[in-house]
A and B are shown apart, each in its own frame.
Chain A
Amino acid sequence: MSGDLTELYQQVILDHNKRPRNRGRLPTATRVAHGDNPTCGDQCSVYVRLDGDRIAEIGFDGAGCAISQASASLMTTQVKGKTAAEVRGLYDAFHHIVTTGEAPAEISDLAAFAGVHAFPARIKCATLGWHAVLNALNGDAVPATTETRAD
């Protein structure tokens, strides 16, 4: 297995793919958003219970490749307890990581996705769950689609 591939499928990613965190519909959700990736058929729904401006609880479900599902899982662990503005900041950092491969030291968990940048076709897989949570925070009912948004 080449360096690029082991970078892409980091242990953290394989682990989140096999044992997703916060998986499942959230009965108490106050916001829901769906993301889909029309070219791949990847899907992701994100359920959020807001407490004021903060994400008190979060869940996700969906189906798709290891990258999309692991990224959504890891995302839920990163955004819980954060405000909408903080989540946007995290997304910006994540987006920088997956598009450039550069990961600042202070955001170690998301850095697992740095290998994605060598596979441009997979960037939209990695950002799918993030688009969904941002839409949920925006109170957007429309499905996030990675085709029409800038990644």
Chain B
Amino acid sequence: MPSVQDLRRDFPALHQQVNGRPLAYLDNAATTQKPRAVIDAIVRFYEQDNSNVHRGLHALSMRATQAYEGARERVARFIGAADAAEVVFTRGTTESINLVARGLGATLKPGDVILATEMEHHSNLLPWQQAARRSGAELRLVPVTGADAEGGLDAAALDALLTPAVKVFAFTHGSNTLGTVNPAAELCARARAVGAVTVLDAAQTVGHGAFDVQRLGADFTAFSGHKMCGPTGIGVLYGRRALLDRLEPDETGGGMVAQAGFTESRWKSAPERHEAGTPHVAGAIGLAAACDYLEAAGREAIAAHDAALARLAYDRLAELPGIRLLGTRGARGGLVSFAFADVHAHDVVTLADEDGIALRGGHHCNQPLMRKLGLASTTRASFYLYNTEEEVERMVASLRRVLKFFGAA
């Protein structure tokens, strides 16, 4: 990986003062900053190639189509897909999961089980609640263990839950609330053994290290461009070709139809089958540029960098009085999530912002888990390739001031 200081120069938004202090952007699990290369790729498209795709025979339309399909191939290589047709562009993780949940949900019936886990983001929980409601299938959840969820997913409970009645197992690769990273390959293999289709929420992992859909073995994988240096409004649903071609389209309209009649129509095969309407061409191009950027920076190196910062933060935070640190100690992605006995996360975040430090406080779209842990909210610091040890130290110093201010230390 190039030096962090070199990388930082590529991100215009990092170079600003917030409340008179240099910005320390530690909210990367929510969204990441964008390198100049990504911003330029989007601008270049709008300035030079802007046109609709797939439908025109003129020069610009052909260039736009080439760029869009080139982006699909770029993303396919980035995630190790066997075939670019397995990459469906969506608005993001949420749309990807809704698409697959509606499609799979239509094949379920009473007596079937949808299995998810207690550490799912609302985006990988509510669509399955809806699928269960519509189909009559039952939604069951793998519990997390430990007072601070330090035990990860309950392995014994998973054994009992993974029966042949389970038709779908949807789970997150990296938890945005706990920092815990689940053993995705092992979980997919176990689900496959009972015949379940697997859906992996990889929003927190695709851009944070090596990632290979074939090695992980999930049937479907969802992620968002904006959490990996790409633009907002673009994401991916990866699916194994045979499954994508069978999945009923969620949206119908232009671009996805093979043969349209006045009263009946036939769909194209994947990926167009699942991309009705004009796609977010500029977004796909920006996402491809983000793939280039991350690969050049070195994906293994990014993973090691994020993990080292998270470890440093975890150890330094553990020294603060009255702190609860959530999630497993090991197998951790680049984030830490914590709560103080006497100071609410929103007060923490407001005071840290005063020091130029961007943290997130709240339930992180994980309300049922928060309730189970007896917490209303946590404060979260999440790291990426451009963050520094100095920023971690600044955060810890700021938190000490917060505790003093509220008379908690």
Q: Which residues of A contact B (CB under 8 A)?
A: 1-2, 5, 8-9, 14, 17-18, 39-43, 63-67, 69, 119, 122, 125
CB neighbours of A18 from chain B (8 A): 406-407
A40 to B365, CA, bound (A): 10
A43 to B346, CA, bound (A): 13
Q: With A14-B406, A66-B406 in contact, do A41 and B354 touch (Cβ < 8 Å)? A: no
A-B contact pairs, 26 of them (CB 8 A): A2-B19, A2-B354, A5-B351, A5-B354, A9-B347, A18-B406, A39-B362, A40-B346, A40-B377, A41-B367, A41-B377, A42-B376, A43-B376, A63-B344, A63-B376, A64-B346, A64-B376, A65-B344, A65-B346, A65-B347, A66-B343, A66-B344, A66-B406, A67-B347, A69-B344, A122-B350
A93 to B351, CA, bound (A): 27
Q: Which 7 pairs, one residue from A and one from B, show the smallest C-beta to C-beta distance?
A: A65-B346, A65-B344, A41-B376, A41-B377, A41-B363, A66-B347, A63-B376
CB neighbours of B406 from chain A (8 A): 14, 17-18, 66
Q: With A42-B376, A67-B347, A122-B346 in contact, do A9 and B405 touch (Cβ < 8 Å)? A: yes
Chain B: minimal CB distance from A70 (Å):
10
**B325-384 residues at the A interface, CB under 8 angstroms:** 343-347, 350-351, 354, 361-363, 367, 370, 376-377
Chain B: minimal CB distance from A23 (Å):
15
A64 to B370, CA, bound (A): 13
A39 to B363, CA, bound (A): 8
CB neighbours of B344 from chain A (8 A): 63-66, 69
CB neighbours of B346 from chain A (8 A): 40, 42, 64-65, 67, 122, 125
A5 to B406, CA, bound (A): 13
CB neighbours of B345 from chain A (8 A): 65
Interface flags, B390-409, vs A, CB<8A=1, else 0: 00000000000000011100
CB neighbours of A43 from chain B (8 A): 376
Seed contacts A40-B362, A41-B376, A41-B377; 18 additional CB < 8 Å A-B pairs: A5-B351, A9-B347, A14-B406, A14-B407, A18-B406, A41-B362, A43-B376, A64-B344, A65-B344, A65-B346, A65-B347, A66-B406, A67-B346, A69-B344, A119-B350, A122-B346, A122-B350, A125-B346
CB <8 Å contact, A1 and B347: no
CB neighbours of B351 from chain A (8 A): 5
CB neighbours of B376 from chain A (8 A): 40-43, 63-64
CB neighbours of B350 from chain A (8 A): 5, 8, 119, 122
Interface size on B, residues (CB 8 A): 20
A119 to B19, CA, bound (A): 13
CB neighbours of B354 from chain A (8 A): 1-2, 5
Chain A's closest residue to B401 (CB) is: A1
A125 to B362, CA, bound (A): 13
Chain A's closest residue to B19 (CB) is: A2
CB neighbours of A42 from chain B (8 A): 346, 376
A5 to B346, CA, bound (A): 13
A8 to B362, CA, bound (A): 20
A64 to B377, CA, bound (A): 9
**B45-73 residues at the A interface, CB under 8 angstroms:** none
A40 to B375, CA, bound (A): 12
A14 to B402, CA, bound (A): 13
CB <8 Å contact, A41 and B407: no
Chain B's closest residue to A63 (CB) is: B376
A8 to B405, CA, bound (A): 13
Interface flags, B17-46, vs A, CB<8A=1, else 0: 001100000000000000000000000000
CB neighbours of A40 from chain B (8 A): 346, 361-362, 376-377
A42 to B345, CA, bound (A): 10
Chain B: minimal CB distance from A60 (Å):
15
Interface flags, B241-254, vs A, CB<8A=1, else 0: 00000000000000
CB neighbours of B343 from chain A (8 A): 66
Chain A's closest residue to B361 (CB) is: A40
Chain A's closest residue to B20 (CB) is: A2
Candidate in B343, B350, B361, B377 with the most chain A CB atoms within 10 angstroms: B350
Chain A: minimal CB distance from B346 (Å):
4
Chain B: minimal CB distance from A3 (Å):
11
CB neighbours of A125 from chain B (8 A): 346
A14 to B347, CA, bound (A): 11
A133 to B405, CA, bound (A): 30
CB neighbours of A39 from chain B (8 A): 362
Chain A: minimal CB distance from B177 (Å):
12
Chain B's closest residue to A41 (CB) is: B376
CB neighbours of A5 from chain B (8 A): 350-351, 354
A17 to B19, CA, bound (A): 25
Chain B: minimal CB distance from A91 (Å):
22
Chain A: minimal CB distance from B17 (Å):
13
Chain A: minimal CB distance from B61 (Å):
42
CB neighbours of B407 from chain A (8 A): 14, 18
CB neighbours of A1 from chain B (8 A): 354, 405
A43 to B344, CA, bound (A): 12
Chain A: minimal CB distance from B127 (Å):
19
Chain A: minimal CB distance from B186 (Å):
33
Candidate in A1, A43, A63, A65 with the most chain B CB atoms within 10 angstroms: A65
